[in-house]
Copies of this chain bind each other. A is one copy, B any other.
Amino acid sequence: MTLNVEQRREIDGARALRHETRRATVPALEEILFEPIPVLNHGFIRVIDYMGDDAAIVQAARVSYGRGTKKVHEDAGLIRYLMRHWHSTPFEMAEIKYHVKLPIFVARQWIRHRTANVNEYSARYSRLTDEFYLPEPEQLGIQSSANRQGRGAAIGTEQAAEVLAILREDARRCYDDYVRLLNEDEDGRPIDPGRAGLARELARMNLTLGTYTEWYWKTDLHNLMNFLRLRADAHAQYEIRVYAEAMLETLRRWVPHTYEAFREYRLGAAQISASGLAVIRRLLAGETVSAEASGLSKREWRELMAVLGREDK
């Protein structure tokens, strides 16, 4: 992560201010408010604002007049109940806003979650900075043969160096040509006053998908958990998963009871199919069930055995 002096100063300035409020306030989240949490080589997430806390979810679920006089224990129980029974509306009553810096190809995956508000840095309006994603060598996986849309083992030290050189040089050349097309220096002045600059809205097409962009992204707690369930999952692409993992930690600070219920009923839970349940019932009844006789496909059998901790069977 690279913050320039001005950005660091602005963040520190914002962090230094304190206001008095009647609103639900979460000290553990206030602690890290505005502060960037580094992700990948140049990216970050930082929490810009939030609305509500665990108690506010309970308050909405009860359509209460006050902040509630119920015990913390009961609040946690109600939150577990709501999560378990897919009662999503009370979780929609809490909201969070992030500032995210991320590579464009990650942004393209991210934006598929439509139930959120987004305001992106405009490359029609301003020049982008020269920051590109370059993976750590150990992240340079080969194409997985088992999973057509995933990656497998690391590609090997020698080839990794070659890959990184290609990525770096192509990104750099494209960026330098982008600046040449714009004919605009960092302060927005012409580099060569004798030439015209191509419109920013056009020049940007010369950048690679590894270039960083930034956006403000705001969503409610229910949709944040939908995002995290899919993107913090082991099958998600590494480059978006690391963002989701950083956000999971902000979730833990913000709404600890909800976070616990989310681990119990979503992240650590498993959806077992009708046929999968039938297999479990037969196993519990003492039957020996083979993959072939299970009615499951090989892949589903493997996944079920993994969930049941019987990978060796």
Contacts and interface: CB of A to CB of B under 8 A. Distances in A.
A273 B140 CA distance: 34
B18 A198 contact: no
A15 B66 CA distance: 9
Interface string A155-168: 11001000100110
B283 A284 contact: yes
A119 B90 contact: yes
Interface residues of A, number: 137
A277 B281 CA distance: 13
A140 B198 contact: yes
B117 A220 contact: yes
A197 B142 contact: yes
B173 A170 contact: yes
**Oligomer copy total:** 4
A250 to B, nearest CB: 14
A43 interface: no
A193 interface: no
Contact of A22 (B34, B152, B159, B267): B34
B269 A273 contact: yes
Contacts of A149: 122, 124-125, 200-201
Interface in A1-45: 3, 6-7, 9-11, 13-15, 17-25, 30, 33-34
Interface string A94-136: 0101010001110110011011011111101100000001010
Nearest to A80: B297
12 contacts: A9-B66, A19-B20, A23-B49, A65-B99, A85-B235, A111-B111, A141-B202, A159-B196, A205-B208, A269-B272, A269-B273, A284-B308
